[in-house]
Structure 1
Amino acid sequence: MNRADNTLYAHPDGCTRDFDDNTLIATDDDGKAVLLPIGSTGLILKQHPLSAAFPTMPADEYQVLADSIGKIGVQNPITLFEGMVIDGWHRYRAATEAGMDCPSKELGDVDPQDFVMAQNKARRHISQAQLAMATTDVYKWKSVGNPAFAQSGTECPIAKTNSELAEISGVGERTIKQAKSLQTYAAPEVVEAVKRGEVGLPKATAIAKLPLDEQAAALHKPAPKPAKPAKPTPVVEPETEVPADYTELDALREHVGDLQADLVVARMGDIPEEEKLQAETLIADLRAEVKSLTATLKAAYLARDSLMEENAQMKRQMQMQRKEIDKLKNSK
């Protein structure tokens, strides 16, 4: 057979070659060899899980891509790994739907996770929440396919810290933590809604605190109000474990700060509940950070004062010792 019949032959071991020796990888669902004409029987290849970690291209953008491929074909080959499309899934779909050939190449000697991040992070117009969800999905993936396709270092990758994931993705560490928490505790409908960009992390995080069977319905309602933390007691009882320098005035200042934060949110007017919730979270985080820095500064002041007092005491001792030395000299 030759290229004129427009056929690809898929071997059972997952390695597919057309008869002009242009490499393509595919198997059927049973892993058997098949003869499939390009464009006549639908998609031959599957999308790799690492590629699927990122959201699907919006319909309008996909239509523009499909129109372009219909006119000039696929200009950039898709990339294959483990018998699936790891990069270029939308190009492959558009070419297949148009009944056109799709050039391909194998993934080189690079880390597949780092490759997917590099290919998608810079060029995808996705939100910070979507990027955080995709990043956590990418780096929890493990190669489970044919050992012949498993690349070195991907079988048991060392788990990355939240800080490392934040640096890789370019989002905040708090956003990474929220994404991980959602993937652990939220209903699948909530997770998918965030991945599609339909719901932001603040609202999704609030929904994830509801009973599991109530979360899907909550997607179409205003974000649930978080339980507000108890206000600090203005009067400090002597027996409570409060630092000695924490006074009633400090407690009143904190209370005023809480009221100011509530006032800021209340003045937002018609801003969506999700954005108000996000503002409340941000204000709480900033106030906690300011409180921590203030405590650190106060400790530094105390240490400074202690050192200054110690220094003054040593100077007094030195002066007394000089006087004693002078007396001894004069007595001789």
Structure 2
Amino acid sequence: MNHELHELCKALPDMWDDQFRQLVEDIRANGLLHPVLLLDDKVLDGRHRYRACLECGVEVRFSPFEGTDPAAFVISENLARRHLNDSQRALVASKLTGLGRGRPKKCPDSDNKPILQSEAAKMVSVARTSVVLATRLRKEATPALLAKVESGDIAVHEALKIAQLGAPAQDRVAQIQDRKQRRLAMAEAHHRSAGRATAPRKQFMTVVPPGTEFVRDVLTRLELFTNHVLGADGEVDAFVDRFWAEFDWQEPLLLKRLEHAGRGIKAVARLQQHLERRAEAA
């Protein structure tokens, strides 16, 4: 009888291939030393031992989960022995968010309330902002890029920048092992994309866009900024959270550049006030 994986179990990333091969050979030589734990007839802990037994033909020994908090158990058992980095843990927390705790009906608190984002962050010892970014990444990244983050090869912050590219470019950049080479490839892909976005269209007759040259130039720059920073969905909160999380507040040069940019931000904010007043008067 084949057993499905419990949702809590699937929140953890897979072993590296070489680690799994070592596990297979160990079980082939020594047998299964620790039983696979089941909850509701699904594998809660030991999915790699389960797969290894099936591969090398060793009989699987199962044991029912006897604890009261499966979610806490899975995290406690796996975080230390798997040596996950911050980005991997943030992805785990993102997957845990919304899942039920899986508590057996015999427990006093058996209503199986979903895990909140703040709870998931605390369980894996990462900041809630990191979980927010990981959740956004899971929506925007291709499976190939996401797999690189889950394996620990690429950090969430870098992956979010790569995820701004189209799917083929994401997959291509994600396969580059060297981080410096990835950055160069990503910058090149962004430039090509920006060039296509701003390339003039063929027209059979010359059409002069409305507005003065100054107004057209400002709106074009603001539109490019909005598309590049906020993306198609225009998620302001996600942009602010990401910038706040990634900004180095100890770096004087960055602080100086941010202060200079502040004048432009104030100018745009004042323009927005005028727009709002005009809209109210209309």
The answer to whether structure 1 residue 283 and structure 2 residue 241 are counterparts is no
Q: SS in structure 2 opposite 1:114?
A: helix
Task: Give the corresponding residue for 1:203.
Answer: 158
**Residues 1:136 and 2:94 aligned together:** yes
The 3-state SS of whatever aligns with 2:29 is helix
Aligned-CA RMSD value: 3.6
Residues 1:58 and 2:28 are matched in the alignment? no
1:135 Cα deviation from its structure 2 partner? 2.0
Matched, 1:70 2:35: no
The structure whose RCO (Cα within 8 Å, separation 6+) is larger is: 2
Change (3 A) 1:286 1:166: farther
AA matched with 2:39 = F
* Change beyond 3 A, Cα 1:190–1:64: closer
What residue identity is the alignment partner of 1:90?
A: H
Q: Percent identity?
A: 26
Shift of 1:92: 1.4
Distance 1:115 1:139 in 2: 16
Offset of 1:177 from its aligned partner? Answer: 2.5
- C-alpha distance after superposition, 1:110-147 (max 9, x if no partner): 22222211111111022221111012212332489xx9
Change (3 A) 1:98 1:215: closer
The 1-side partners of 2:167 and 2:55 are apart by 39
User: Residue 182 and residue 125 in structure 1: after superposition, are their counterparts in 2 closer, same or farther (change >3 A)?
Assistant: same
Contact 1:166–1:176 at 8 Å: present in 2 too?
yes
Matched, 1:84 2:42: yes
Q: Which residue of 1 aligns with 2:116?
A: 159
Instruction: Supply the AA of the counterpart residue of 2:6.
Output: H
CA distance in 2, matches of 1:186, 1:214: 11
The answer to which structure has the higher helix fraction is: 2
Change (3 A) 1:72 1:195: same
Using the size of structure 2 for normalisation, the TM-score is 0.56
What is the TM-score with the length of structure 1 in the denominator? 0.49
Q: Counterpart of 2:43 in 1: which secondary structure? A: strand
What amino acid is the match of 1:65? L
User: Which runs of no fewer than 5 residues in structure 1 stay unpaired?
Assistant: 1-25, 27-43, 228-277, 292-332
Residues 207 and 152 of structure 1: CA distance in aligned 2, closer, same or farther (over 3 Å): same
For residues 3 and 96 of structure 2, the distance between their equivalents in structure 1, rounded to whole angstroms, comes to: 20
Contact 1:194 1:200 in 2 (8 A): yes
Return 5+ residue gaps in structure 2 as ranges.
177-181, 192-242, 257-282
Compute the displacement of 1:191 (Å). Answer: 2.1
Q: Which amino acid aligns with 2:76?
A: A
Alignment of 1:249-328 (within 5 A): 281-283=246-248
Q: Check whether the contact 1:133–1:176 (CA below 8 A) recurs between aligned residues.
A: yes
Alpha-carbon contact 1:127-1:197 (below 8 Å) kept: yes
Using the alignment, how far apart are the partners of 1:285 and 1:185 within structure 2? 30
